[in-house]
């Protein structure tokens, strides 16, 4: 059985922290905020799309059509 540290978060595990009107920090609820594993990435709204940057794939940006789909990209 995999430990919490290595399993992909479920939709329930994900929390969005509003940074600005167009930006969210994506966090894993299973870890305390002070734990670096808590931050999964960031979502930024740009006109009619949402850009996802994952801390697991630095420099890579993926685009989605909705906030829900962008958020779901962090879950397994």
Please check whether residue 37 lies inside any domain of the structure: yes
What per-residue confidence (pLDDT) applies to 4? 46
Please check whether residue 6 lies inside any domain of the structure: no
DSSP-derived 3-state class of residue 31: coil
Determine the distance from the C-alpha atom of residue 66 to the mean position of all C-alpha atoms in its chain, rounded to a whole number. 14
Please check whether residue 62 lies inside any domain of the structure: yes
The tally of domains found in the chain comes to 1
Q: What is the pLDDT of residues 5-35, one digit of tens each?
A: 568 999 999 999 999 999 999 999 999 999 9
Q: What is the pLDDT of residues 26-62, one digit of tens each?
A: 999 999 999 999 999 999 999 999 999 999 888 899 9
pLDDT band of 73, cuts 50, 70, 90: very high
**Cβ contact 28:38 at 8 Å:** yes
The domain in which residue 16 lies consists of 11-72
Gap between the Cα atoms of 11 and 8, Å rounded:
10
HSE, CB side, 13 Å, CA atoms: give it for residue 75.
14
Closest CA to 67 of 22, 29, 37: 22
């Amino acid at each position: 059985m995999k430990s919490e540290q290595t399993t992909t978060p479920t939709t329930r595990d994900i929390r969005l922290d509003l940074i600005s009107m167009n930006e969210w920090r994506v966090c894993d609820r299973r870890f305390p905020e002070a734990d670096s594993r808590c931050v999964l990435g960031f979502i930024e709204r740009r006109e009619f799309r949402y850009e996802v940057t994952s801390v697991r794939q630095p420099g890579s940006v993926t685009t989605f059509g909705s906030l829900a789909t962008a958020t779901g990209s962090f879950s397994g």
